[in-house]
A = this chain, B = another copy of it.
Amino acid sequence: MVRTAVVGATGYAGAELVRLLVAHPNVNLTVATSEKDAGHPLGDVHRYLAPFGLSLVKADVAAIAADADFAFVALPHGASTPVVSGLVDAGLRVVDLGADFRFSDRDLYESWYGTHAAPGLLQAAVYGLTEYARDRVAGAQLVANPGCYPTGALMALLPLGGSIASPVFVDSKSGTSGAGRAGKTEQIFAEVTENIRPYGTWKHRHQPEIESTLANLGEADVRVRFSPHLLPIARGLLSSCYVQFDRPVDLAKRFADAYASEQFVAVLPEGEVPEPRNVRGTNRVEIGFAYDRDENCATVISAIDNLGKGAAGQAIQNFNCMLGLPEHTGLQLTAALP
């Protein structure tokens, strides 16, 4: 049993981590933190987690290090860095779900997020898109869990490497839990229901994360134009990637080669379409595609749960990988109705 901490347990990703970790056979969840609700049971914030009797404490590095050997950190970007640095120094292994350690290029990070407080750790962190990094993840002390949008887009695009003509258009549609639990007027029910809201078109911080990961994996010349949309659903993420190729491509073969042995990835037969409902609550990815020989272009669509493969699910997949456990340990395979 691994003594485990969830730092930032009351946000949606943190709460989903708790939901999964309490049922993980190798985990002893010893610490759950919240700055705002420290001193209260987690069940006071999320009553569906009340049966597990966890109490919230403030995120004190020494205290966490005393009680845990592994930490999941689910804090806002910027807030992660000092906590993660401290925990790494104290010898813990860490999966950070924020953006702070997702860029190996400090300048690129700082041009989108501002000054980085621990740039020395950027090179040490492994970008944990598990299917593409499991060997490095296995040996890492610090894994940077990919963003939800990059996960969806990269799982769709990476098998196409070497043939993509720039630019790629990524049109993503996300559930509101991706925007966090803060009370903002633009997020209240009456502002979200019966609508779809584009936001941050081409200016979202996940655009450079997608581009730089493509570059790190060999696609240095591909520009991505990323258009996210807010859906009136709580969780779920669909990404439609519009790709022009510079040579004919056999998409069925590409996806089969990439994912035939991946337990979390379902490549659908041509004509079937991915839907977030099919992966809700799981770490699964559905991928579908249509290819046009005349125009030599494709639509590739992926569906994930933004809190699953897009956050807590992949974090646990990385945890399993780091500990040498089967990757599906503690991860449910079946979705459920909403």
Contact = CB atoms under 8 A, between A and B. Distances in A.
Nearest to A273: B198
B173 A337 contact: no
Contact of A184 (B188, B284, B288, B307): B188
A52 interface: yes
User: How many copies of this chain does the complex contain?
Assistant: 4
A191 B244 CA distance: 33
A275 B234 CA distance: 16
A64 interface: no
A194 B236 contact: yes
Interface string A293-320: 0110101010000010000000000000
A274 B47 CA distance: 10
Contact size class for A?
35 or more
A22 to B, nearest CB: 7
B240 A277 contact: no
Interface string A186-223: 11111111111111011000000000000000000001
A-B pairs, top 5 by smallest CB distance, nearest first, are A48-B335, A194-B338, A169-B242, A190-B234, A195-B277
26 contacts: A19-B336, A22-B334, A48-B280, A48-B334, A49-B334, A50-B278, A169-B242, A171-B240, A173-B196, A175-B194, A183-B183, A183-B185, A188-B188, A189-B192, A189-B234, A190-B338, A194-B276, A194-B338, A195-B276, A196-B233, A196-B236, A196-B276, A223-B295, A225-B295, A227-B299, A232-B232
